[in-house]
Amino acid sequence: MTTEKEKMLRGDAYDPFEPQLVEERERARALTRWYNDTDETEPETRAALLSELFGTVGENAFVEPPFRCDYGSHIHVGDDFFANFGCVMLDVCEIRFGSHCLLGPGVHIYTATHPLDAETRREGVEFGDPVTVGDDVWIGGQAVLNPGVSVGDRAVVASGAVVTNDVPDDVVVGGNPARVLKEL
């Protein structure tokens, strides 16, 4: 029998109110609250909390509080990862970052989505699509990565961009929806 969590991670429709998923979200809320309540004099505590919250954490990973996520355990960050103030990651599916990634303030990354049909939406089911970010990527402040997108190596996502399609390697994208502005 397939669990609701297995369905969720596969990107199938699932029941977000299944007790195991509720418990895992509550765990993430507690860990993010503790993380967000730390101060700049507690780097070891912050590192330990990130390691407990995220699925995997590379060396020298840092997230400026406040930070929010759904589960945390589906977030994987490489070495030298930095997320500025106010980032949100809705990780019902995996969010994977390569090494040397920088996120500006208020970056939002969504893997969670809902049915387009109103009647189905009323049933309360959700689904998701993973997001992947390559190495050496810079995502500017207030940018949004939508479910299912991949961002290529060495790409730059301009501030305020709304990424609805995959971003190739070595480009700058911007706008809503984001489009290639420049090749690097």
Q: What is the 3-state secondary structure (H, E, C) of 4-28?
A: HHHHHHHCCCECCCCHHHHHHHHHH
pTM of the model as a whole: 0.96
Q: What is the pLDDT of residues 164-182, one digit of tens each?
A: 999 999 999 999 999 999 9
What's the pLDDT score for residue 1?
Answer: 81
Q: What is the pLDDT of residues 72-127, one digit of tens each?
A: 999 999 999 999 999 999 999 999 999 999 999 999 999 999 999 999 999 999 99
Known catalytic residues are 114
For residue 148, report the phi and psi dihedrals to the nearest 5 degrees.
90, 0
Task: Enumerate domains of the chain plus CATH numbers.
Answer: 4-183 (2.160.10.10)
Q: 3-state DSSP call for residue 75?
A: strand
